[in-house]
Structure formats: C-alpha cells, structure tokens
Amino acid sequence: MNNQPKIAIVTINKNVYSETFIKAQIDFLPASLVLYGDWFPTHYGEDCIIQSRKKKLISRALNFLFHVKLFTKEQELIRILKKNNIQVVIAQYGIAGVYLNKLCKDNQIPLIVHFHGFDASKQDILSHYKEGYLKMFNDAKSIISVSKSMYQKLISLGCSESKLKLIHYGPNDKFLLNKPKYDTQTFFSIGRFVDKKAPYLTILAFYLVQQEFCNAKLIMAGNGELLGLCKNLARSLKLENKIEFLGVISPDQTRIYMEKSIAYVQHSIVAESGDSEGTPLAILEAQAAALPVISTNHAGIPDVVINNVTGFLVEETDVQGMKEAMKKILINNELARELGEKGRLRIIENFTMKHYLSKLNHVIQSAI
C-alpha cells in the first residue's frame, strides 16, 4: 500500500447513482483525496469545505481594499493538495479539466483529464469551452477517451494523439457471477431518462413486440427528465401492465433484474444538442451478466457489442429494427444463451474491471 501513488479525483458530484465508473476509480485505484461540489471543487473528504465562508469574506475584502489575493479558492485548494501530498489529479469530465488546468500547471501537479460523453459531444459545451479545451489538451499529461468514436472526436477538437489514451470502462466483477436461465420474456433496461438514451424509442419498439408476444414485459430502471413522458407514453399505448418503471436501483438490484431477464435493451441516439454516449457502462454490465444486448450503432456501443455475435445493433431511431431483434431473442432461447455467453467471454477477455484499472494505473504512473 505504501507504493500507491497519491491520487486526487475531482468529480462534480461525489455520490451519483449513474456514475458508477467514477465510484470504481475512487474505490479501487484508490483515491487519496476526493474533491467535489462544482467543476472547480468546493468540498473534499467528508463534506469539508475548501474555502470557508470566513476565508471567502476575508479574501474579497483584501482584494477590494488592497488588491491582495489571499485565501482564494485556488490557494486553498493547492494547500489541501500539498497537505495530502497529491502526486496527480484526475479530473472527471473535460469541463473540470479546464477549470483545474492552470492551477495544476502552475504548481507542477500532473493533470489527467477523463472524458465520458456529453463533454466531448454537446455543441454548446464544445463551443463554450473551445479555447479552454485547447489549452488543456496542450498542458495536461494525458487525456482519456472511453470509446473509439470519442477518440477521433477529441483529435478533431485539437488534442494530440500522443496524449490520448483509449480506456473502456470495466463492469463490476459481481456481474460475472450471474446465471440467467433465458426462460423468460422479460427485457431489462437501466439508465437516465434523457434524450441520448431515447427511452421512448425502446418503449415504441417494445410496443411492436407486444403485438406478437402478449406475455412479453419490459422493466426500466433509472430516473431523469423524460421519465414522466415515458410513463405517459406507456399509458397511452396501454402498456402500463407490461412496462415496470423501477426508479433508481442499486447495482445489486440491477444484477438480480438482469438475471431474471432474457436480454438487455437500450436505444441510444445522438440528441438534438449533439449529446452522445461514451461507452455505456450498463451495456458492459449486461454482457458481463451474460445477457445478449440489443442496442444501436452509436458512439462506443459497437466497440463492445459485436452485431450478430454478442447481441444485435440497429441504426439510430430504427424502432422496427429493434423490434425484429427483440423478436429473434423471444423465439429462440438458445440464441439468447449463445449471444449472452459470447458477450460474457468478450468482457472477460477485454473489458474487465482489472483491464480498466490496469490501464488507468499505467497512465497515472506515466504522469508521475
């Protein structure tokens, strides 16, 4: 343990149910210090404030009266980093990297910036932070991409390929213990109810499935701005007894629902805002759980799901195509088993948590 590097992980939210990939870094790298609260962090540890209210008021007064900068949030953050002997900072999301870039550069603390999805795709983000991204690409030690498509996008934004590292997420090893029986007509989906995950398109595909398979069910877990819309859509299609909305559930509950399902479904698309996935962790978890995945040719999904080998991929918004893929699974349980087992084997060979952490550690050691 004494040889572990001193890592500070910066994330806007310390505890967010949908960001289990960040929690994995915190727990398994492990992080010596977690900073959170905003893109430029406001808190650390167990709700400790980086710049206290008293110091904030003193700082403002000194700056106003004497143009002296003392007890600034930047100075206080550096004090905390040095007190904890931090050797490297990992910024979660490109925006946090922009806010931390100058501070890390000025104090010679290596900065690693981990992109995840919207931060490399939303048009307003890319426009607003264009110059900040370019400076960060120049100064940071490494930039991490989670998919091949994001890798190419970051190059187009001005990141040197020499600094880019492609590291796919790794699912929790617990999902490898699942033993699905493939004897049900239940489909499972989990994720935020937001535009890029297009849960309403999954519902429409399931509606078409229901026309031929009246015993089929769809279980959807998660929360988000489109949840109400999706519930209304289910009611309007008279599917309220066929679709179950679980809300937010734990990873252990996710495992249980996956084990009782025949396939995992997710109809990801590029949102009107440009927002796109990275590589959805839930899809990796489903494959680790030996479920066939039915999804779309979107972002990093084709990196991990091989069409007709570990699942089925359709084009974005192709609801009829998703329906046909779901139908193939329902009429052939052995096909579901074959796809699921091949998916699990692919995870074991290429995308385990051990693979993920090993690659991250290599980037960290190189930065130090």
Q: Are residues 107 and 178 in the same domain?
A: no
Torsion sign over Cα 199, 277, 222, 171:
positive
In a domain, 357, yes or no: yes
Distances (CA, A) of 130 to 35, 93, 122, 170, 196: 24, 14, 12, 30, 22
In a domain, 16, yes or no: yes
Q: How confident is the model at residue 1 (pLDDT cuts 50, 70, 90)?
A: very low
Distances (CA, A) of 68 to 60, 168, 254: 9, 45, 53
Q: How confident is the model at residue 16 (pLDDT cuts 50, 70, 90)?
A: low
Q: Are residues 269 and 124 in the same domain?
A: no
Q: Are residues 104 and 206 in the same domain?
A: no
CATH number at residue 362: 3.40.50.2000
Number of structural domains found in the chain: 2
Q: Are residues 178 and 218 in the same domain?
A: yes
Phi then psi for residue 142, to 5 deg, are -150, 150
Which of 4-8, 16-20, 27-31, 326-330 shows the lowest per-residue confidence on average (mean pLDDT)?
Answer: 16-20
Q: Which range of residues forms the domain containing residue 38?
A: 7-169+353-367
- Examine the pLDDT at 259 and tell me if it is beyond 60: yes
Tokens encoding 153: 């996008």
Q: Are residues 247 and 297 in the same domain?
A: yes
Q: What is the DSSP letter of 50?
A: S
User: Rounded distance, CA 134 to CA 297, Å?
Assistant: 29
Q: Are residues 332 and 362 in the same domain?
A: no
Q: Are residues 117 and 187 in the same domain?
A: no
Distances (CA, A) of 232 to 187, 249, 322: 20, 21, 21
| Predicted confidence (pLDDT) per residue in 213-226, tens digit | 999 999 999 999 99
Q: What is the mean pLDDT of residues 249-255?
A: 95
- Examine the pLDDT at 326 and tell me if it is beyond 80: yes
In a domain, 2, yes or no: no
- Examine the pLDDT at 160 and tell me if it is beyond 60: yes
Q: Are residues 149 and 258 in the same domain?
A: no
In a domain, 179, yes or no: yes
Q: How confident is the model at residue 139 (pLDDT cuts 50, 70, 90)?
A: very high
Q: Are residues 178 and 310 in the same domain?
A: yes
Q: Are residues 242 and 193 in the same domain?
A: yes
Amino acid at 97: G
| Predicted confidence (pLDDT) per residue in 54-112, tens digit | 767 777 777 766 666 666 889 999 999 999 999 999 999 999 999 999 999 999 999 99
Residue with the larger pLDDT of the pair 293 and 27: 293
Q: Are residues 143 and 205 in the same domain?
A: no
In a domain, 1, yes or no: no
In a domain, 19, yes or no: yes
Q: What pLDDT, on a 0 to 100 scale, did the predictor assign at position 24?
A: 83
In a domain, 334, yes or no: yes
In a domain, 283, yes or no: yes
Q: What pLDDT, on a 0 to 100 scale, did the predictor assign at position 17?
A: 45
Q: What pLDDT, on a 0 to 100 scale, did the predictor assign at position 18?
A: 47
Q: Are residues 287 and 344 in the same domain?
A: yes
Of the candidates 161, 92, 353, 177, the one whose C-alpha atom is nearest the C-alpha of residue 361 is 353
